[in-house]
Amino acid sequence: MAIKERPRPGGRSARVQQAVHDAVRELQEARAREALTVPQIAEIAGVTPSTIYRRWGNLSELLADVSLERLHPDEAPADTGTLAGDLCRWGEQYLEEMTSVPGRQALDDIMASKDASRRECCCRYSESIMQGLRERALTRGESVPSLTAMMDGIVAPMTYRLLYDPASATVENFERWVDTTLSSLASR
Amino acid sequence: MAIKERPRPGGRSARVQQAVHDAVRELQEARAREALTVPQIAEIAGVTPSTIYRRWGNLSELLADVSLERLHPDEAPADTGTLAGDLCRWGEQYLEEMTSVPGRQALDDIMASKDASRRECCCRYSESIMQGLRERALTRGESVPSLTAMMDGIVAPMTYRLLYDPASATVENFERWVDTTLSSLASR
């Protein structure tokens, strides 16, 4: 269950990974996902199919790997001046992404993967975003909940609803989770 | 995404389902899961492979269906005299089941299923358990959180940790989720 190291940047392994990921994304835009095959991906990436099988095992795991890349947070969420504002801004964008067709597909790919370290990676991504927002709020002098309280009170119900009850994965509910988590802080 | 109706009890459809589910469970006990095949299951169940393909589509969906059955709550959780006690008793048993090898496999089967209604079914099962415990506590005259507060505060963080961060799916954390959910009630 260890989280795999990313290949060394610039090395051959990293170049292969980049080329294969790019080929998957290119094909995903051009055709229905059910039509993707490893030989096609290999051809576009300029590698042999056996390189792909050796490294990813099968098509499902390759798709899960590309999807995990998609979920990697690439920039700090907007600074709105308050922790509540930052959280709501982030939640709105995240829910918009995760309820889109490609977002849902990315989540499904990761849930279908046999490699549990991908899910743990998602948890670490969310922790790193929450921690970034906490630290920004601390710098402003706000009182902030613990990282655990933010994960349990905000990220967990959001993810639970996205997976199990998508009709309830709404911005209104997200605002309620933020409110409950921040107000339980005030009452302690 | 509609939740499928279970077949009418006693009808042919229900008998086929029962025979096929029993065959899967029998084979799962006897051999490694990777060794299961639709023709073997069909032979033991006394149906044709095409009956299985017509009804379930493929082996993964059949396994997910059997796993959902496994997660169906079959009896009311123990009455310990308080809501906090009932919740902790239930949580302890549920975590023990879901961190066991067959429990984890059942969860993985459902997450890998292309049929989102299975996940929604899990959410409805959890709601029905929480609602049963709430009503029992109301009968005792206890103050109780809303069903939504119990799902967001207890079921969601437990499920999130089981899926994304199994090392944190512990009884100690479960007790903390119960405590936080019940004490936020007291402070309102």
- Kindly provide the ipTM of the predicted complex, given to two decimals: 0.86
Instruction: Examine residue B64 and state whether it is found in any structural domain, yes or no.
Output: no
Q: Compute the distance between CA of residue A162 and CA of residue A154 in angstroms, rounded to an integer.
A: 12
Q: Are residues B84 and B139 in the same domain?
A: yes
Q: Are residues A101 and A158 in the same domain?
A: yes
Burial class (CB in 10 A: 0-12, 13-18, 19+), A185: middle
Q: Are residues B50 and B108 in the same domain?
A: no
Inter-chain touch B163–A163, beta carbons under 8 Å = yes
Average pLDDT over residues B157-181: 96
Domain that holds residue A34: 12-57
What is the mean pLDDT of each successive set of 10 residues along chain A, which is 188 residues long? 54 88 89 85 94 92 90 84 96 93 89 89 94 96 96 97 94 96 75
Q: What is the CATH number of the domain that holds A52?
A: 1.10.10
Instruction: Examine residue A7 and state whether it is found in any structural domain, yes or no.
Output: no
Q: Which one has a higher pLDDT value, A49 or B77?
A: A49
Inter-chain touch B166–A116, beta carbons under 8 Å = yes
Quick: pLDDT tens for B100-127.
Answer: 988 898 899 999 888 889 999 999 999 9
Q: Are residues A19 and A94 in the same domain?
A: no
Q: Are residues B161 and B92 in the same domain?
A: yes
How many separate domains does chain B show?
2
Q: Are residues A87 and A17 in the same domain?
A: no
Q: Are residues A80 and A43 in the same domain?
A: no
Residues in chain B: 188
Q: Choosing among A128, A160, A185, which should be mutated to test the B contact, i.e. which has the most B CBs within 10 A? A: A160
What end-to-end distance do the CA atoms of chain A give, in Å?
A: 37
Residues B137 and B86 sit within 8 Å (Cβ to Cβ): yes
Q: What is the CATH number of the domain that holds A84?
A: 1.10.357.10
A117 in contact with B, Cβ within 8 Å:
no
- Give the per-residue pLDDT at B2: 40
Instruction: Examine residue B6 and state whether it is found in any structural domain, yes or no.
Output: no
Instruction: Examine residue A166 and state whether it is found in any structural domain, yes or no.
Output: yes
Q: Are residues B20 and B77 in the same domain?
A: no
* Dihedral sign from CA coordinates of B52, B57, B60, B61: negative
Point out the residue among A112, A161, A164 whose CB comes nearest to the CB of B112. Answer: A112
- Give the per-residue pLDDT at B122: 92
Q: Are residues A50 and A76 in the same domain?
A: no
Q: Which positions ≥6 away from A125 have C-beta within 8 Å?
A: A71, A72, A73
Point out the residue among A151, A155, A164 whose CB comes nearest to the CB of B122. Answer: A164
